[in-house]
Amino acid sequence: MDKILLVDCSVDVTQHLASLLAERFDLVNVSFGDPVVLKEHRMILLEADTHTDPIFSKISKLRFECKFSDIPIMVIKRREDQVAIEHFLSCGATEVLALDAPPGACRQILQGYLIPSRKPLEKEMAYLSPFIENTIHVLKTTALLDAVFREVYFSNTFRIFGDISGIIGLSGASEGTVAVTLYWELARKIIANMMSVQTERINAEYIHDGVGELINVISGSTKKRFKGTPFHFDLSLPTVVVGSGHQLGHPENSSIAVLIFDVGDTAFVLQICLKPKKHKV
């Protein structure tokens, strides 16, 4: 039976969630900070109280520990209050639900987020595999770091929970976007290695420019692999976006391939949206 992790949930909230989900899922209740393997759980649920700063910190830390895996983090509030839902979402929450909301609606929302994300089809791997191979190659040759590809899934959301992203628009025979997203410390390490300097010398400006250059190098080296194929593309100039929970400008109504790479005990993602143009007959 799939497991759902409840973090610091009171007895009545636990009982309420059990009435909604326990028939299909094993609910595991822990205290924040207890050792637990997050990737073994399909969803994480936290209870919000009147003290918002602690819950914001918990959400951020749990989202970081998920290492970009597709694990929904749901917040249960006892009542509607003045705290804007956007504050929870920007910290890494997927959705915020009220305890007094209609049970049927809550069950439907929770079950919707428990549907696994789509895995790529074989034909989609034709354009994803070169990006995987070239990302690993670029990290090895320019930053002397071993990146290990972990998994890929398709997402329909533009929200991403790293600290900084570099994104490039793609046009030509194919069109779309490609973006790299990292947490601050890994970005600092990569850029320091690319520049052959100590990490202490890398400031925010260097990281900003370096992440733009990183996605430019990854995209440019991969572009060569698609020459003469329907996936060939030209590159725009890179744009860099900073801040947890930031939005990326992927094309609307697009499925986005999220490729997760591990570097030691940290992770980063490459997001790819690429479609060959339809030619008029």
Q: What is the CATH number of the domain that holds 109?
A: 3.40.50.2300
Same domain, 84 and 139: no
Give the mean model confidence (pLDDT) for residues 166-190: 93
Using a 10 angstrom Cβ sphere, with 0-12 exposed, 13-18 middle and 19 or more buried, the burial of residue 17 is buried
The end-to-end CA distance of the chain, in Å, is 51
Residue 281 lies in a domain: no
Q: Quick: pLDDT tens for 131-151.
A: 999 999 999 999 999 999 999
Q: How confident is the model at residue 281 (pLDDT cuts 50, 70, 90)?
A: very low
Final residue before a domain boundary, out of 72, 95, 113:
113
Is the domain of 107 the same as that of 129? no
Question: Which whole number is the average pLDDT over 242-263?
Answer: 84
Residue 184 in any domain: the answer is yes
pLDDT over 90 percentage in the chain: 67
- The DSSP bridge pattern shows strands 73-77 and 41-48 to be parallel
Amino acid at 58: K
- Left (φ > 0), alpha (ψ -120 to 50) or beta: where does 202 sit? beta
Do 60 and 197 lie in one domain? The reply is: no
Task: For residue 48, tell me if it sits in a domain.
Answer: yes
Gap between the Cα atoms of 179 and 269, Å rounded:
8
Residues 108 and 127 placed together within one structural domain of the fold: no
Question: Do 37 and 175 reside in the same domain of the chain?
Answer: no
Least confident of 33-37, 52-56, 125-129, 218-222: 52-56
Same domain, 182 and 264: yes
Reference 218, options 252, 254, 182, 265; nearest CA is 182
pLDDT tens digits for 85-107? 888 888 899 999 988 889 999 99
List pLDDT tens digits, range 22-79.
778 899 999 998 999 998 999 999 998 766 778 899 999 999 999 999 999 999 987 6
Structure tokens of 172? Answer: 């030509």
In a shared domain, residues 181 and 210 = yes
The number of distinct structural domains making up the chain is: 2
Q: Which range marks the domain in which residue 13 is found?
A: 3-113
Q: Minimal CA–CA distance to 210: which of 261, 255, 143, 118? A: 143
Read off the pLDDT band of 280 (50, 70, 90).
Answer: very low
Q: 274 forms bridges with which residues in the sheet? A: 176
Among residues 84, 113, 142, the one where a domain terminates is 113
**Mean pLDDT of all residues belonging to the chain:** 90
* The model's pTM: 0.90
Chain-centre distance for alpha carbon 118: 15
